[in-house]
Each structure stands twice: as C-alpha cells, then as structure tokens.
Amino acid sequence: MHTINSIYLGDLRTSLKHLSSSAELFTDAPLDNQGKGESFSPTDLLCASLAACALTIAGIASRTHEFNIDGVEVEITKSMISNPRRISAIGLRFFNFPEQLSDKQKAIFENSVKTCPVMLSLSTEIQKNTEYDY
C-alpha cells in the first residue's frame, strides 16, 4: 500500500502528497547542487524526519512516564561530503525544556532519541551528534 505520492515537477522540484491525509510538501535542490533552495532539499527532509521521530518517541515515553516535554525544540545541522554526495553528519541539539527533568527522565528522553526508528534506520556511516541543553 502506498502512503505517499511524489511527482517530479521539473527544474529540480518535487511534490509529495500524503495520501491518507492529503498533506502536501515540496522539495527543491539546494543552491550548492544546482537548485534554487526555495524549499527543503531531500536531505533536509531526512534530517527533519530524524528530529521529528526523536521528539515523537520521546513524547510517547514522556506520556508513559508522566513528565512534560511540550515545547522542546531541536536545532538540526547537516554536513555533506562528495564522491558520492551524501550526508556525513547530523547534529541534533535539544533545548527549551519546559521543566527541570530528573536524571531518570533525562535518561528516558535520551534513550528515546537513540532508539527512534529513523535513528536506527540511518547508516552507521553517518555521524550522529546529540546535545541536550536541559
């Protein structure tokens, strides 16, 4: 079963439509790779997916263990290399925690980040750097 439909629009742009919700987004090649940089690049979406997945799994864990992470933000950085062009490193900095977390809650949060499905799906060749500003 397909859940996403993608169409090449020309000029290095694509549209993606989530079929069950009709949500739509677009990608554009980055300025440093012949694009206009007018939207997320496909590699930006991979990094954004990692952050969203980590927050989602942490949200499930915080709900289960009854602590609040509403409003936590993630700053995402991406490093690229050539030959072949690919992501070499992703940095995630978590900040803006709404309350002081206990050591146990911090461990639960950090374990959620390390074990989210996107993190576990990424190549071991990609360096993953996580930082927590509690």
CATH code at position 127:
3.30.300.20
Q: Does residue 128 share a domain with residue 75?
A: yes
Residues 114, 116, 122, 126, CA torsion sign:
negative
pLDDT digits 0-9 by tens, 76-113? 999 999 999 999 999 999 999 999 999 999 999 999 99
Q: For the segment 9-33, what is each residue's pLDDT rounded down to a tens digit? A: 999 999 999 999 999 999 999 998 9
CB 56 within 8 A of CB 84: no
Total residue count of the chain as it appears in this document: 134
* Crossing angle (nearest 10°) for helices 42-64 and 103-114: 140
Compute the distance between CA of residue 8 and CA of residue 107 in angstroms, rounded to an integer. 42
Q: How many domains in the chain?
A: 2
The residue segments making up the domain with residue 11 are: 4-33
CB contact set of 21 (below 8 Å; sequence gap of 6+): none
- Report pLDDT for 2: 74
State whether 28 and 47 are in the same domain: no
Q: What is the pLDDT of residue 24?
A: 96
